[in-house]
């Protein structure tokens, strides 16, 4: 599953590119809603801060 780490700089790019609207602007760190995520990896590919990891 994909996870947003504390390297996130809240640029919102991942939210824009996610085809499943699975990323939520939660505080203090954005969260990927696992029930919506289709694990396409597009968010990770587009994060300029390397803040999204797959575990």
**Contacts with ligand SF4, residue ranges (CB under 6 A):** 2, 4, 8-14, 18-20, 22-23, 30, 32, 37-43, 47, 49, 51-52
Q: How do strand 23-24 and strand 52-54 relate by DSSP bridges?
A: unpaired
- Report the alpha-carbon distance of residue 46 to residue 27 in Å, rounded: 21
CB of 6 to ligand SF4, least distance (A): 10
**16: closest CA among 55, 48, 54?**
48
Q: How near is the Cβ of 44 to ligand SF4 at its closest, in Å?
A: 7
Residue 26 or 38 with smaller CB distance to ligand SF4: 38
């Amino acid at each position: 599953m994909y996870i947003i780490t504390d390297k996130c700089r809240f640029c919102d790019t991942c939210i824009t590119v996610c085809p499943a609207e699975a990323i939520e602007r939660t505080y203090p760190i954005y969260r990927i809603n696992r029930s919506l995520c289709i694990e396409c990896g597009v968010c990770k590919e587009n994060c300029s801060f390397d803040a999204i990891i797959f575990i």
